[in-house]
Structure 1
């Protein structure tokens, strides 16, 4: 099947969280910071729920970029690939090898900032035959103009631009699936879908 039409499953994808570091998060102004945090938590939680392999990396965490945001550590654990200087995570041997070790060709990718930490490795991975889903609402950058420019460039290079809720729905596929209700609960926890979900739960208890 053509990779552009093959859907995400819990067996063919890996999640990479790139440089969600507290020093970089301070400058993200293209979306509401509280909403962005919920999107990041939702993306990490869905990966844990369906059992996706996950890879977290940081750049110069002892410097001004700071450590990985604690919300990610709480969900995915404290294993972080520390890069010594590569801006493009794909050019870090340990990070790239970690992706290759999963044996999966679909990469769900988010990064701070969108136009550097997400865009560069996304384009590089596509060049090497990977099918990359750039989750832009679990990423962030300086302003909307910068985010839009990054989205255009990634799209031109063949990166699939996505949101965390669309990734969740694609992985769920069917409400009757093994993780259907759990994933619905994540949407309820991290988005305004909570009203729909809570109404469904209420109605089902009658």
Structure 2
């Protein structure tokens, strides 16, 4: 029996989907603290911008209670198309959204969103069925409670979705610190507080040389 294939994210073949990070829905995300969740989402957004990975944004019924998309996302990704779905719960049921994914030509899809078991899981499962490789960013996706998150993650993993956090997405895309220590390190410094001390130590040693 052959061992499982390790499919690594490739910056030249991946597409980021930010699904329903909307003011009203984010208020329902209780499986993370509000500040922690915001930090995780913005860390992922920074990665998309830093690696120049194409991204697609989408909202669901943003004229209603779900509210508008978080402005920090559109500010950081000003060139990313925003598909405002009038009612489709599964983003893949929206023909404009689905068409953009197909048009991108990318086969690796990185998904984050709110709510995990609905807005993330439904399109993730649909994309798996269509033959894409799918990664779900667990800490940039939120929902009502930890137990609902765990159930959704199990459902997705059983279908072949890979689960990882935003920092792991960055590390897998970066591959080697030597590509750009300062640029990549700045993201970690800003969004992983405990890593700031390591970078301060690194910079201090470098300045002494």
Q: TM-score range with shorter-chain normalisation?
A: over 0.9
Contact 1:172–1:180, Cα closer than 8 Å, also in 2: no
Structure 1, unpaired ranges of 5+: none
Aligned to 2:21: 20
One of 106, 109, 121 as aligned partner of 1:107 = 109
| Cα shift at 1:129 | 0.6
Query: C-alpha separation between the residues in 2 aligned to 1:111 and 1:170?
Result: 20
Contact 1:22–1:65, Cα closer than 8 Å, also in 2: yes
One of 137, 140, 143 as aligned partner of 1:138 = 140
Question: 1:62-81, aligned counterparts within 5 Å?
Answer: 62-77=63-78, 79-81=81-83
Runs of 4+ in 1 over 6 A off after TM superposition: none
Look up the SS of the partner of 2:16 in the other structure: strand
Aligned to 1:85: 87
Structure 2, unpaired ranges of 5+: none
Look up the SS of the partner of 2:178 in the other structure: coil
Query: C-alpha separation between the residues in 1 aligned to 2:61 and 2:4?
Result: 34
Query: C-alpha separation between the residues in 1 aligned to 2:146 and 2:6?
Result: 29
CA RMSD of aligned residues (A): 1.5
Question: 1:33-48, aligned counterparts within 5 Å?
Answer: 33-48=34-49
Answer with 3-12 or 140-149: which moved more. 3-12
Answer with 79-88 or 2-11: which moved more. 2-11
Query: C-alpha separation between the residues in 1 aligned to 2:173 and 2:39?
Result: 19
| CA shift digits 1:39-59 (9 cap, x unpaired) | 111101111111100000000
Structure ID, larger Rg: 2
Question: 1:1-206, aligned counterparts within 5 Å?
Answer: 4-77=5-78, 79-177=81-179, 179-192=180-193, 193-206=195-208
| CA shift digits 1:51-85 (9 cap, x unpaired) | 10000000000000000011111111274101111
Could you tell me the TM-score, scaled by structure 1's length?
0.95
Could you tell me the TM-score, scaled by structure 2's length?
0.93
Answer with 147-156 or 4-13: which moved more. 4-13
